[in-house]
Amino acid sequence: MQCMSSLFRLPVFSRLVCALAILIVVGCRLETDEGAKPTDELDPSEMAALERISTLGYVDISREPAEPTQMGVTVFDEGRSYPGYNLYTIRMARAAELIDARGRVVHRWHQEEDLAWVRSVLLDNGDLLVVGDHPRDSSVSSKRTPPRFVMRLTWDNEVIWKRTLSAHHDIVITPDDRIGVLTVEGRRPPGNPPSAIVVEDHVTILNQDGDVEEKRSLDKMLKARPDVFTFQPTGRWRRSWDPLHSNSLRWMTDETLAARDPIYALGNLIVCFRYQDSVAIFDWDKEEVVWTWGQGDISQPHDAMVLDNGNILLFDNGVKRDWSRVIELNPRTKEIVWEYKAPTLSDFFTGARGANQRLPNGNTLITESNKGRAFEVTPDGEIVWEFFVPHVGPKGHRQIIIRLYRYETKLIEKLVSS
């Protein structure tokens, strides 16, 4: 306590220097914590701290009241917008909606007993994969088990299976037709008493029946190559440390790109890390990182994916500058070759979440999550489709969009008619 009081008597600049030094020391400690205790040995208060991690900086309702003129589709240039149907997840409504280009709902999934839905992905056969949260009083959750789950629904909203799992942010189909999902595990660093929970991010592989088959630590794969990736210090929230905060997951599947450069090797995966201001490519078989970029150039990014041309599309939230952008990066030269930002920079900003999708006609579909808005821009940055979530909360504020993605017309019309 005497040391802390002395610190606060220092001039502001000196305090900032000391704080930076403390963060650096802590960041180094996070890289060397061995012998940490697993999640099932954490006490209930520590589990509660772990649960809060996935929602830090996130909101469920837009800060601005929903304007009557900003409901549903507000811009639609039919000649230049890429045709298709749009799927988005409404977190607190525990639902996913599929809408046409004019904003009309053509299909909806919903499970009343869940607490929240975080992510949904539509499969070619009409099934829906969901990442969500159980209510705390649910029979499948406990004080020692994070009440999260992954679930598979039929097109008709029937539950095929539901598995309690500490899943978050993203779920995908792997190249070998299994299911990949981001998961989190809390660990106590050595020491008595422990200073905080350290959060360890994993990629967990499920079979088609939802059973866990593999799990690999992203932290360990990053630490395997200190010549490729350097951890930057991160802040502390009460009793928890979240050094990575992974939020998107994609596998490499393009043989042409794989022949061009080893970073595109089949089976490699690309992951985005919010709190490391980074995107990284991993060799899954070798269990190590092989490429990374972002620190000093982007701020708390989301939704990294490799395009057909080999470039990386990425949502740069811009938390440190209060405006967002979507960028296309050449990973071999580390040059930004395209970006979208609003003419008035502050008009496009979401401090959390955010998504992007390159469409076959060259347009880019963008989700401005915290405003409950999605829009499509041409390569020149002109908006040709815009949508505002029509769902509002009790005080008239719009619900946010987790992510919005466009699916091909042919696929959806086949599912609707079957």
Per-domain residue ranges for the chain?
A: 1-32, 33-417
Q: Is 227 exposed, middle or buried (0-12, 13-18, 19+ CB in 10 A)?
A: exposed
pLDDT of residue 31 exceeding 60: no
Q: What is the pLDDT of residue 46?
A: 45
Q: What is the pLDDT of residue 49?
A: 45
Structure tokens at 255: 């043989």
Q: What is the pLDDT of residue 198?
A: 81
Q: What is the pLDDT of residue 263?
A: 97
Q: What is the pLDDT of residue 52?
A: 45
Q: What is the pLDDT of residue 59?
A: 57
Buried b / exposed e over 162-174, threshold 16 CB at 10 Å, is: bbbbbbbbbbbeb
Q: Which band of pLDDT confidence, cut at 50, 70 and 90, is reported for residue 267?
A: very high
Least confident among 5-19, 177-191, 197-211, 263-277: 5-19
Q: Higher-confidence residue: 100 or 10? A: 100
Per residue in 216-237, pLDDT tens? 999 999 999 999 999 998 765 5
Q: What is the pLDDT of residue 195?
A: 59
Mean residue pLDDT of the chain comes to 84
Q: What is the pLDDT of residue 217?
A: 96
Q: What percent of the chain has pLDDT over 90?
A: 67
Q: What is the pLDDT of residue 136?
A: 61
Torsion angles phi and psi, residue 202, rounded to 5: -130, 160
Quick one: which H or E segment has residue 405? strand 404-407
Per residue in 160-219, pLDDT tens? 999 999 999 999 999 999 999 999 988 776 664 555 678 899 999 999 999 999 999 999
Task: In whole angstroms, give the CA distance from residue 357 to residue 315.
Answer: 10
Q: Among 415, 344, 410, 409, which residue's Cα sits nearest to residue 100?
A: 409
pLDDT of residue 281 exceeding 90: yes
- Inter-CA distances, 156 with 110, 172, 323, Å: 10, 21, 40
**33-417 CATH:** 2.120.10.30
CB 245 within 8 A of CB 277: no
pTM here is: 0.84
pLDDT of residue 50 exceeding 90: no
pLDDT of residue 119 exceeding 70: yes
Least confident among 33-47, 58-72, 246-260: 33-47
pLDDT of residue 65 exceeding 80: no
pLDDT of residue 1 exceeding 50: no
CA torsion 203-207-212-217 (nearest 10°) is -20
Q: Which band of pLDDT confidence, cut at 50, 70 and 90, is reported for residue 394?
A: confident
Per residue in 288-343, pLDDT tens? 999 999 999 999 999 999 999 999 999 999 999 999 999 999 999 999 999 999 99
CB 92 within 8 A of CB 376: no
Q: What is the pLDDT of residue 67?
A: 76
Q: What is the pLDDT of residue 20?
A: 39
pLDDT of residue 36 exceeding 80: no
Q: Higher-confidence residue: 38 or 150? A: 150
Once rounded to an integer, what is the mean pLDDT over residues 389-418?
89
Q: What is the pLDDT of residue 239?
A: 59
Q: Which band of pLDDT confidence, cut at 50, 70 and 90, is reported for residue 392?
A: confident
Q: What is the pLDDT of residue 395?
A: 76
pLDDT of residue 5 exceeding 70: no
Q: Which band of pLDDT confidence, cut at 50, 70 and 90, is reported for residue 282?
A: very high
3-state DSSP assignment of residue 111:
coil
